[in-house]
Each structure stands twice: as structure tokens, then as C-alpha cells.
Amino acid sequence: MYATTLPWGKILGDYAVDQGGQPQAVVWGRGDRLPAAVAALVNGTLVHGFELDDLHKASILHPSSAGVPAALAVAESRGGISGSEFLTACVAGVEIGARVGMSVGTNHLVRGFHPTGTHGTVTAAAAAGRALGLCAVEMEHAISIGATQAAGLMASQFESMVKRMHAGRAAQAGVYGAELAARGFTGISNVFEVDYGGYCSTLGDEANLSALTQGLGVSFETEKVGFKGYSCCGSCHTSVEAARRILAKRRIDSAAVEHIRVGTSKATLLHVGWPYQPRSVTAAQMNLPYCLAVTLIDGDAFVNQFSPGRIVSDDVIELARRIDVEQELAFDALGPAGRHKVRVAVQLRDGTSIEETVEHARGSEKDPLTEDEVIFKFHRLVDPICGKTWANKAYDTITSLDVAPSTAPLSNLLSQAFPKSKN
């Protein structure tokens, strides 16, 4: 709902509405109804629209940005399904998408793929297929059709709007996969295992195929999905947390900072450790030096810290230029579990040095947000856009989905249009 106020949410929503089509599913926060796949495209883009969506660390996947819009759009095309069926579909999407991401490994990101754009297609196909009630054979083809549409280049993080759309395209691809499979359209039956041209062999260097099924149905990856407390790339969150811990010890005047060194893994260095250039809001959200600098100055890294005006502020830019991000071989030796670990060392001009090491991001499975913190984040984002009354009703509707006879009330709430800001 917050992303409906942002330029990329409006541009894509307007474009989709202009294309028209069967009124199957709502575009959230607008009231327009479009074909299920097109609604999923817009809504998935909204969910990923400001780096506030959930994160499964091991697969480097934001599962709900692809799975939830796909499942709900398909549910609407059926006139609604029970809340428990909808939640089951969402969990199916997370489980399949996360496992596919884990099988391919971190090198997928290092090579330049955006995992939510790639693995998100599988997430969405599984979620949409479950919401559509596909049989096993149809589901196999739905997931395969989704997988073969996998795309998303990480270069989009430097200055573009299109990174936001990777999740939307993944959601759309998943709906395509489920709807085509239901009509008898076939995919690649062994899409993950095949040696030449298969998903894992093509998108990863040394795929771990056992991750696809090990503990499936017993050990749930959904339980390891975390909530973001900061509106920036998950790979920056440990640095933001380190900055907040430093500020808890003493107030930092940015002018008094001589130099800051951040040690981290190679994957995080390549992903977010590049020198900051104020090219776009996206670039700021994906850049560790900016996120660390703005947190040290503002004390937070939420939506206000990533406004078009703030990202070009001289104080933040000057401090970000005094931050060097370097590879820490000891962190690489920890494997995927240590990918986000950072050591932040602040050297002040008076000779004082302050250091913080953070291994797990606040909001991750290792350091989860409390329920109250999640609710606070929800209201902080939604109340200014939709109003407190709507937000309370949405909260009640969402938290009782497990016993709801239909998803229709949720869809009706999301169909309400709200005045948009001029941001």
C-alpha cells in the first residue's frame, strides 16, 4: 500500500490498466480489476516496491513479493478460496522457491542474477498452482513453466526502477505457469535436475540438488523467513544495526569521523559494497556506505532516509565517501550463514575508535522482530496512506485468514483506492 504512492507503482499500474483485459483480480490500492497475471505483475512490484518485503536469507529470496500476489490473484479469478487454502498456497510457494534458491546457492547472486526475479518465478508458480487446485502432474508443469521464465539482472540495483518489477514479473510468470498447466500446456519435467539447460545447472555453478527435497514437509523454510526493519537491501541491515549499536554508546558527529572500515563477505561486498553515487533511490537502498552513513546521521534507515531529497544530501554523501567496504576472508569461511556478517570500525579524528560486529540482521530468523515490532511497522507504513480505520480492518482480516471462509473480504479491502502522495 505504501508503494502505491511511489512513481514506479503508479507508472506500472497505469500501464497495466491501459492494456485492459478480463476483470479477474484487483490492483491493490486502485480499485481496477485486470487479468490475474497482470494484477500479479503490478501487485508483486508494489510488494517489492521499497525494499520492505520479507527475506529468506539462505536463498536470497523475497518470497512473498512473488508468491502472495500470484496466489491471491488466482484465488480471485476463482471467486475466492478459503483463507486456509490461501495460506497453504503461500507456504507452498515459499517452500518450493526457497529450496530452489538454496540448491543453486550464493554464487547465483555473485554472477549477477537477482534471485527474486529468478527463484520468484518458481515461488509464484507453486503458490498459484496450489491456489488453483492443480493436480501433481499439472503442478510439475506449472513450476517448470515458471522456472523457464526466470530472469532478473542485479545491475538494476544501481539506478533503475526495473528492479522493483522483477518481483512482479516473477509473480506474473507464476500465474502464467499455473493457468497454462491447467489447460494442458507442458513444461520440462526434470527442469531442476537436467544437466544441459536445466535450471540448477544453468543458473548455478555447483548445484546442491539434495536441498530441493531434504526435509521437505518436515523442516519448513517458511519459519526462517524474516521481516525487514529497515527499508533497504537486506545485505545492508547488519551494517545499519551496527550503526545503531554505535549510536547507543555515544552520539556521533559526522564531521568528527575520519574514516569507517566495513569488513564483510565477498558476496555482500559485490552486492552492496560499491562506492556510493546518488543516481536514484534504488541505488541508495542497495548501497551499504549510504545506508551506514544515513543511519549514523539520522539514527534510522526507514522510508524518510530514502526520499529523493535525502539521497543527494551533502552530509550523507560526504560521510559515505569516507566509508570503505572490504572483503573479510574469515567471514567467507563461514559459508552462506556468514554472508551478512560485518565488522564496522569507526575512526574519529580525535583518535577514538569504535567497533561493532554484527552477524545476523535484526528481523532475521536469528534475531527476529517481536510481534509488536511487526505491527508497529505495518501501521507506520499504512496509516498515513490508508487511514487508521482501514489499517485496523486490514489487520483484523489478515490475522484471521486461517479461519476465514473466503479471501474475498481481503480482496475487497485491497481494491479500495486512496489519495496518492506527490512523492
How many beta carbons lie within 10 A of that of residue 202, not counting itself? 13
What is d(CA 114, CA 60) in angstroms, rounded to the nearest whole number? 9
Nearest in space to 233 (alpha carbons), one of 4, 57, 414, 113: 57
pLDDT for res 358: 97
> At the fourth CATH level, which superfamily is domain 234-358?
2-methylcitrate dehydratase PrpD (3.30.1330.120)
What SS3 state is found at 82? coil
Domain residue extents for the chain = 2-224, 234-358
Spell out the per-residue pLDDT of the chain, length 423, in tens.
Answer: 999 999 999 999 999 999 999 999 999 999 899 999 999 999 999 999 999 999 999 999 999 999 999 999 999 999 999 999 999 999 999 999 999 999 999 899 999 999 999 999 999 999 999 999 999 999 999 999 999 999 999 999 998 899 999 999 999 999 999 999 999 999 999 999 999 999 999 999 889 999 999 999 999 999 999 999 999 999 999 999 999 999 999 999 999 999 999 999 999 999 999 999 999 999 999 999 999 999 999 999 999 999 999 999 999 999 999 999 999 999 999 988 899 999 999 999 999 999 999 999 999 999 999 999 999 999 999 999 999 999 999 999 999 999 999 999 999 999 999 875 433
pLDDT for res 159: 84
CB-based contacts of 399: which residues, under 8 Å, 6+ apart?
none
Nearest in space to 365 (alpha carbons), one of 272, 214, 227: 227
Residue with cell 569516507: 322
What CATH architecture does domain 2-224 belong to? Orthogonal Bundle (1.10)
pTM above 0.85, yes or no: yes
